[in-house]
Amino acid sequence: MKKILFCASLILILGCKATKEVEKIKEIEKIKEVEIVKIEPEKPVIKNVILLIGDGMGLSQVSSSFYFGATEEPNFTRFPYIGLSRTSSASHKVTDSASGAVAFASGIKTYNGAIGMNTRKEHIETIIERVERPDFMTGLVATSSITHATPACFYAHVTYRYKEDSIASYMPKSKVDFFAGGGLRFFNKREDGKDLLPVLSQNGFKVDTTALGKIGTLTTNNKYAYLLADKGLPSKLEGRGDFLPNATKLALDYLSKSKDGFFLMVEGSQIDWEGHASNVQGVVQEVRDFDKALGAALDFAEKDGQTLVVVTADHETGGFALSPMQVRKQWQYDNIQGSFYQNSKSLPSAAHTATLVPVFAYGPMAESFAGIYQNNEIFHKIIKATGW
**For the chain, what percent of residues have pLDDT higher than 90?**
84
Please tell me the distance from the alpha carbon of residue 90 to that of residue 108, in angstroms, as a whole number.
Answer: 9
Query: For the stretch 92-131, what's the b/e string if a residue is b when 16 or more beta carbons lie within 10 angstroms of its beta carbon?
Result: eebbbbbbbbbbbbbbbbbbbbbbbbbeeeeebebbbbeb
* Average pLDDT for 17-44: 49
Q: What is the pLDDT of residues 172-194, one digit of tens each?
A: 999 999 999 999 999 999 999 99
93 in a domain, yes or no?
yes
Q: Is residue 131 part of a domain?
A: yes
29 lies in a domain?
no
Mean pLDDT for the chain overall:
91
Indicate if the pLDDT at residue 12 is higher than 80.
Answer: no
pLDDT at 33: 41
Q: Which of 21-30, 204-213, 309-318, 341-350 has the lowest average pLDDT?
A: 21-30
| 97 within domain boundaries | yes
DSSP 103-142: HHHHS----TT-BSB-TTS-B---HHHH---TT-EEEEEE
Of 77, 63, 152, nearest in space to 357 by CA: 63
Task: Tell me if 24 is assigned to some domain.
Answer: no
Is residue 84's pLDDT more than 60? yes
* Residue 49 confidence (pLDDT): 98
What is the arithmetic mean of pLDDT over 65-82? 93
Number of folded domains that form the chain: 1
Residue among 139, 113, 107 nearest 125 (CA):
107
Q: Does the annotation mark 97 as catalytic?
A: yes
User: Percentage of residues in the chain with pLDDT exceeding 70?
Assistant: 89
How many CB atoms are closer than 10 A to CB 281?
A: 13
Q: Do the domain assignments include residue 196? A: yes
Among candidate residues 97, 169, 269, 278, the one labeled active-site is 97
Q: Is residue 1 part of a domain?
A: no
CA gap 28, 22 in Å, rounded: 10
Q: What pLDDT, on a 0 to 100 scale, did the predictor assign at position 5? A: 43
Of 41, 43, 44, 80, residue with least CA distance to 305? 44
pLDDT digits (tens, 9 = 90+) for 87-120: 999 999 999 999 999 999 999 999 999 999 999 9
Q: How far apart are the first and last CA of the chain?
A: 85
- In this predicted structure, the answer to whether residue 291 has a pLDDT above a threshold of 60 is yes
The pLDDT-based confidence of 281 (bands split at 50, 70, 90) is: very high
pLDDT at residue 43, as a whole number: 64
Residue-wise pLDDT tens digits, 234-275: 999 999 999 999 999 999 999 999 999 999 999 999 999 999
In sequence order, the 6+-apart residues with CB closer than 8 A to the CB of 15 are none
Res. 34: pLDDT tops 50: no
Domain of 282 in residue numbering reads as: 48-386
Q: What global pTM score does this model have? A: 0.89
Q: What's 338's domain CATH number?
A: 3.40.720.10
Identify whether 9 is part of a domain.
Answer: no
Cβ neighbours of residue 9 under 8 Å, at least 6 residues apart?
none
